[in-house]
Amino acid sequence: MTEQTAEITPGQFAGMDPAAAGQQLNDKIGLKLVELTPDRVVGTIPVEGNLQPYGLLHGGANATVAEALGSVLAALNAGPERAAMGLELSCTHHRAVRSGTVTGVATPLHVGRGTITSEIVLTDDEGRRTCTARLTCVVRDRPPGA
């Protein structure tokens, strides 16, 4: 896969606060979105800079990637007039990663009017599954004027 950064614009998601644009956790962990469709959201993070004290990729980094990719997927499926917000996140860490890049792929498991659930699979540079996550987002109508 050729890596090209995909960009999220405020108009894509209901209620996105332009003032928060420069304060995104995604930027802090080095998340790069490389594919954005309602059927698949792909992103990568470097392992370097996202380690826990034992020199392994931090489980919280896995959770952050999963939440970010699953939330984007839910927002794309909810549409511009509705807002999707994380409700429940579950992560199973299968394999430690010490270096390189981790790639996450989010795909929808359920797209409903009130909830959207996605599966997020994270893999290392060798394509080995390192984490499996499931995120459920609640979907609400966009508030008037937002």
Which of 99, 104, 111 has its CA nearest to residue 132? Answer: 104
Structure tokens at 75: 């927002």
Question: Which is the catalytic residue, given 7, 67, 81, 119?
Answer: 67
Q: DSSP assignment of 96-111, as one string?
A: ---SSEEEEEEEEEEE
> Cβ atoms within 10 A of the Cβ of 9, count?
8
Is position 67 annotated as part of the catalytic site?
yes
Report the alpha-carbon distance of residue 83 to residue 16 in Å, rounded: 9
- Annotated catalytic residues are 67
